[in-house]
């Protein structure tokens, strides 16, 4: 007998080397276009919840599908059957190891700069604590969908047991003569005369087990924790915390939870927590929630990013910060952080305009905005937000990370003219940008073949491209950053 195909086997992907293969067996790369084929007439394919449109031809469905510009585990729903697959980083850009290295170095540099920030609030995320921190929120926000999935499985099939309860009931309700009934009749001295109400044992199914009691206690703790995040002075965090709190409240008010009495005090991991496939995941999720092994501010867990290029932009900025800090040029790094009454948040995000004060009147900015009414440097056309800017009193040097463009560098570099020609000095009307450079994680082979990476080209035109790759040596980039500060401050810096 032939085993019937599952919904997942009905979907195929075209591979250049192997031809049509099952979709879940394919090696997917980020930002890559693939052809799909569905062997059936009824098709409902969703990638991360987004439907994939098919057209029918000869009784089969065909579609063109583009993987997202990010790597990691993704959910695929095929005719109601949910599966998981993995999207790998593009080998032409960054490997998975380099991706993780960027996260680690962002955290490391954020912790180092915290010592120079001048902030007095003490932050410690080592060991286990129940204070709110950015590391904890990053984990909670990234993995809350996983908790929803786990709770859904537990709610459908919770742990339960059969409990026996002694109670008085009508004699006609007694279906089996229990020993407890006979003993009760004998003690009461009824003899052959059986009263209308007798004592018996009734077996009832109970969900009020220790593991479920711990589960309810953890949900109550999570609800209180989300209330703290709900009132922080960070709109995005507060909004998400409010939404998550509503979901947890619905769980607590569910019929399943109403049957359970919450555990009080400390709890321990039982054999059911260790061995049950679903309860083990639940316990591990909460174990991670309060476990932080690094001290200070940072991203202890992979941060929630829509695209890999955003992480590369942040990493390049922190790379510049590290070069300047090790050169002894950083005066104040408080602009990296947002200090609120609830704690300290790393404020390095899109359009936050984080600032680090350097020596000699030079400042380093992340995504500084320039527009028509900016006081010192302004634009006469549209608003411009370069990613990394070294700004002095008489000009600036722009570095723009471009993760996507190793194969289209000339076009990307041409766009840098808008910064060099469009940002002007307010007092004189002269161009403010002295040099512009693209930072890219391209390979050595590409860099050697293209003139944009050559020193002669950059010295002649004041623009070009610099190779900046996680884990690679960057002596030229180091000298360029320190030299740029020297150029803007007009002082000798070793």
Distance separating alpha carbons of residues 257 and 158, to the nearest angstrom: 10
Distance separating alpha carbons of residues 44 and 60, to the nearest angstrom: 13
Pairing of strands 55-57, 72-78: unpaired
3-state helix, strand, coil in the chain (%, to 5): 40, 25, 35
User: Is 184 strand, coil or helix?
Assistant: helix
Q: Report pLDDT digits (tens) over 67-86.
A: 876 667 788 888 888 888 88
Q: For the full predicted model, state whether its pTM sits above 0.75.
A: no
Looking at the chain, the whole-number percentage of residues with pLDDT higher than 70 is 72
**What pLDDT, on a 0 to 100 scale, did the predictor assign at position 220?**
94
**What pLDDT, on a 0 to 100 scale, did the predictor assign at position 195?**
74
Distance separating alpha carbons of residues 303 and 117, to the nearest angstrom: 22
Find where tokens 């195929």 sit. 12
Q: Which residue has the higher pLDDT, 377 or 160?
A: 377
Spatial contact of 107 and 300, defined as CB atoms under 8 Å apart: yes
Q: How much is the mean pLDDT over the chain? A: 78
Q: Report pLDDT digits (tens) over 262-305.
A: 998 888 888 888 888 899 999 988 987 876 434 333 333 333 33
What the block records as the tokens of 376 is 């010192």
What the block records as the tokens of 249 is 């409240």
**What pLDDT, on a 0 to 100 scale, did the predictor assign at position 352?**
60
CA 395 from chain centre, in angstroms, equals 37
User: Is 97 strand, coil or helix?
Assistant: helix
Find where tokens 């080998």 sit. 91
Q: Which residue has the higher pLDDT, 464 or 169?
A: 464
With vertex at residue 130, the alpha carbon angle to CA 125 and CA 136, rounded to the nearest 5 degrees, is 55
Q: Please name every residue paired with 379 in a beta bridge, in sequence order, or none if there are none.
A: 423
Q: Report pLDDT digits (tens) over 233-274.
A: 777 888 999 999 999 999 999 999 999 999 988 888 888 888
With b for 16 or more beta-carbon neighbours within 10 A and e for fewer, the 319-354 pattern comes to: bbbbbbbebebbbebbbbbbeeebbbbbbbeeeeeb
Distance separating alpha carbons of residues 311 and 94, to the nearest angstrom: 11
Distance separating alpha carbons of residues 451 and 63, to the nearest angstrom: 40
* Other Cβ atoms closer than 10 A to 281: 16
Distance separating alpha carbons of residues 305 and 123, to the nearest angstrom: 24
Distance separating alpha carbons of residues 389 and 368, to the nearest angstrom: 7
Q: Delineate the domains of the chain, giving CATH numbers in brackets.
A: 7-88 (2.60.40), 124-158+210-289 (no CATH), 161-206 (no CATH), 308-489 (3.40.1350)
Sign of CA dihedral 140, 145, 146, 149: positive
Sign of CA dihedral 20, 23, 25, 31: positive
Maximum CA pair distance of the chain?
116
Distance separating alpha carbons of residues 254 and 232, to the nearest angstrom: 28
What the block records as the tokens of 274 is 């260790």
Exposed / middle / buried, residue 87 (Cβ in 10 Å: 0-12, 13-18, 19+): buried
Find where tokens 């500084």 sit. 368
């Amino acid at each position: 007998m032939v085993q019937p195909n599952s919904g997942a086997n009905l979907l195929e992907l075209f591979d250049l080397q192997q031809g049509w293969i099952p979709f879940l067996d394919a090696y997917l790369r980020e930002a890559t276009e693939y052809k799909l084929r569905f062997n059936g007439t009824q098709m409902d394919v969703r990638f991360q919840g987004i439907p994939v449109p098919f057209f029918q031809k000869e009784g089969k469905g065909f579609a063109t599908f583009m993987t997202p510009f990010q790597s990691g585990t993704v959910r695929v729903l095929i005719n109601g059957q949910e599966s998981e697959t993995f999207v790998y980083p593009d080998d032409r850009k960054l490997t998975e190891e380099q991706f993780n290295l960027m996260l680690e170095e962002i955290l490391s540099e954020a912790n180092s700069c915290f010592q120079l920030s001048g902030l007095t609030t003490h932050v410690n995320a080592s060991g286990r604590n129940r204070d709110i921190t950015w590391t904890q929120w990053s984990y909670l926000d990234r993995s809350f969908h996983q908790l929803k999935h786990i709770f859904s499985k537990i709610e459908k099939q919770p742990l339960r047991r059969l409990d026996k309860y002694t109670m008085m009931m009508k004699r006609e309700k007694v279906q089996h003569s229990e020993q407890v009934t006979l003993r009760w009749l004998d003690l009461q001295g009824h003899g052959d005369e059986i009263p209308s109400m007798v004592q018996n044992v009734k077996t009832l199914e109970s969900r009020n087990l220790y593991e479920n009691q711990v589960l309810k206690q953890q949900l109550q703790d999570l609800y209180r924790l989300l209330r703290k995040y709900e009132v922080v002075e960070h709109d995005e965090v507060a909004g998400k915390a409010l939404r998550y709190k509503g979901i947890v409240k619905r769980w607590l008010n569910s019929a399943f939870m109403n049957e359970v009495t919450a555990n009080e005090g400390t709890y321990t991991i039982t054999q059911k927590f260790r061995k049950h496939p679903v309860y083990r995941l639940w316990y591990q999720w909460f174990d991670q929630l309060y476990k932080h092994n690094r001290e200070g501010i940072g991203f202890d867990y992979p941060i929630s990013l829509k695209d890999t290029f955003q992480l590369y932009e942040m990493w390049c900025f922190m790379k510049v910060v590290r070069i300047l800090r090790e050169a002894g040029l950083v005066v104040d790094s408080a602009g990296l952080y947002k200090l609120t009454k609830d704690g300290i948040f790393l404020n390095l995000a899109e359009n936050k305009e984080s600032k680090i004060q350097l020596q000699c009147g030079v400042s380093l900015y992340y995504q500084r905005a320039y527009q028509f009414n900016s006081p010192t440097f302004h634009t006469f056309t549209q608003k411009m937000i370069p990613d990394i800017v070294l700004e002095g009193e008489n000009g600036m040097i722009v570095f723009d990370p471009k993760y996507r463009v190793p194969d289209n560098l000339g076009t990307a570099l041409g766009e840098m003219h808008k910064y060099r020609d469009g940002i002007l000095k307010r007092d004189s009307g002269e161009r403010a940008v002295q040099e512009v450079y693209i930072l890219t994680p391209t390979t050595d082979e590409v860099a050697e073949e293209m003139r944009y990476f050559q020193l002669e080209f950059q010295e002649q035109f004041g623009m070009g491209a610099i190779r900046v790759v996680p884990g690679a040596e960057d002596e030229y980039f180091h000298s360029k950053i320190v030299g740029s500060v020297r150029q803007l401050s007009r002082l000798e810096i070793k």
